Amino acid sequence: MDFKNGAELLELCEKTGSSISKVMIDREQELSEKPLEEIMDRMRKALCIMREAAETPIKEPKKSIGGLIGGEARSIWTRHSEGKSMLGPVVSRAMAYACAVLEVNASMGLIVAAPTAGSSGVVPGVLLSLQDEYGLSEEQLTDSLFNASAIGCLAMRNATVAGAVGGCQAEVGVASAMAASAAVELMGGKPSQCLDAAAITLMDMLGLVCDPIGGLVECPCQQRNASGASLALTAAEMVLSGVKSFIPFDEMLQAMYQVGRKLPSELRETALGGCAATPTGACFGCAMNK
């Protein structure tokens, strides 16, 4: 049941009549030689950690180690709860949850790297907000995480998820592609639509640099997680409406990787360019280094 690229993944789905999540579960069982229940329990645990990280800062905000973030998730949630949000419940909650997870990460709490710590808010933000709105079961969300894992697996196998290698397009970009694909499956989409959503998301985030202020995974990381969750939902909605990706997922993944390798080192997690090099960002970085 192993697959090396998106085309092989879709071929397996068509051959077996399975969803992406089912193919990924079968792959894990085959390669790990572990009982199915053990594999499912590990993913349930990951979902539990994601939920805890997404919900706790909304109730109890905590300042980050660097002091750049803390309280943003509650602010977004409060505006949503007061009925003032311009974006609707799903996007507003996704943004709040995504920001919350980064708050936990930046205050040395427990998170699930999905696929990295700096992009850990996107997948739970999208999935938990959909569960809130549509009453999805724990089993459905657990399965959707296997779908997201398949996209992340392909990104790690054929490109990169490291900001130091490919910029933030490889971190938040891939996380958003994972979330978009999982969202499509959750809402009844086909495997081919899942990969279309992932491809569109990568297209939308192509060229995004990695420029953490002060070298900390706080800002603009948190804001980009919120934006990534929004983009993932946008791509999923487009695909479920019948919009297709002109560029196949495998080609889009390679394009992302090639663009990332061409980014100058200053724009790949070194905190020497982009937001980190603005007068305000640079001033904070100097203060951190003293």
Domains in the chain: boundaries: 6-158+168-289
113: left (phi over 0), alpha (psi -120 to 50) or beta: beta
Sign of the C-alpha dihedral computed for residues 225, 226, 230 and 236 taken in this order: positive
Per-residue model confidence (pLDDT) at position 279: 96
Amino acid 198: pLDDT: 98
Beta bridge pairs of residue 268: 210
- Answer whether 125's CB lies under 8 Å from 95's CB: yes
Can you give the pLDDT at residue 142? 98
Helix 138-158 with 191-204: angle, nearest 10 deg: 60
**CATH architecture classification, 6-158+168-289:** Orthogonal Bundle (1.10)
d(CA 87, CA 104): 24
Per-residue confidence (pLDDT) for residue 25, from 0 to 100? 98
The CA-atom distances, in angstroms, between 203 and each of 81, 156, 222, 234 are: 32, 17, 21, 12
**Cα gap 36→160, rounded to integer Å:** 28
User: What does 30-80 look like in DSSP terms, one character per residue?
Assistant: HHH---HHHHHHHHHHHHHHHHHHHHHHHHS----SSSS-SSHHHHHHHHH
pLDDT < 50: residue spans in the chain: none
